[in-house]
């Protein structure tokens, strides 16, 4: 049986299930789910200060082959790559 590609919503749910944003020193609690690296989520509306970044240690980072940091402030991988 051929495996089908995950939909964007399924990918979003996968990202959120693996996300470690809430353990980041820059995290600011305001009801956001995290997953800022994902294009359907994008940067935070609440986080406004760099206090440290743990993006590189997130399972999503390695799983999706990401290369940037501070997604909460600078936007998703696609945004930071200019895509």
40-83 pLDDT per residue, tens = 999 999 999 999 999 999 999 999 999 999 999 999 999 999 98
Nearest to 30 by CA among 13, 17, 43: 43
Residue 43 is part of which domain span? Answer: 33-82
39 within a domain of the structure (yes/no): yes
Phi, psi of 41 (to 5 degrees): -105, -55
What tens digit of pLDDT does each residue of 6-36 get? 799 999 999 999 999 999 999 999 999 999 9
CA 30 to chain CA mean position, Å: 16
10 within a domain of the structure (yes/no): no
Q: With a cut of 50, say whether residue 2 has pLDDT above it.
A: no
Q: Are 16 and 33 in contact (CB under 8 A)?
A: yes
Q: Are 38 and 11 in contact (CB under 8 A)?
A: yes
Give residue 49's pLDDT: 97
Q: How confident is the model at residue 3 (pLDDT cuts 50, 70, 90)?
A: very low
Give residue 4's pLDDT: 58
CA dist., res. 31 & res. 33, Å (int): 6
Phi, psi of 77 (to 5 degrees): -55, -45
What is the total count of domains within the chain?
A: 1
Give residue 5's pLDDT: 72
42 within a domain of the structure (yes/no): yes
């Amino acid at each position: 049986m051929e495996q089908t590609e995950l939909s964007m919503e399924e990918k979003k749910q996968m990202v959120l299930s693996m996300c470690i944003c809430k353990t980041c020193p820059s995290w600011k609690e305001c009801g956001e789910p995290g997953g800022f690296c994902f294009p359907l989520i994008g940067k935070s509306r609440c986080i406004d200060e760099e206090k440290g970044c743990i993006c590189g240690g997130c399972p999503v980072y390695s799983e999706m082959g990401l290369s940037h940091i501070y997604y909460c402030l600078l936007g998703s991988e696609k945004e930071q790559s200019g895509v």
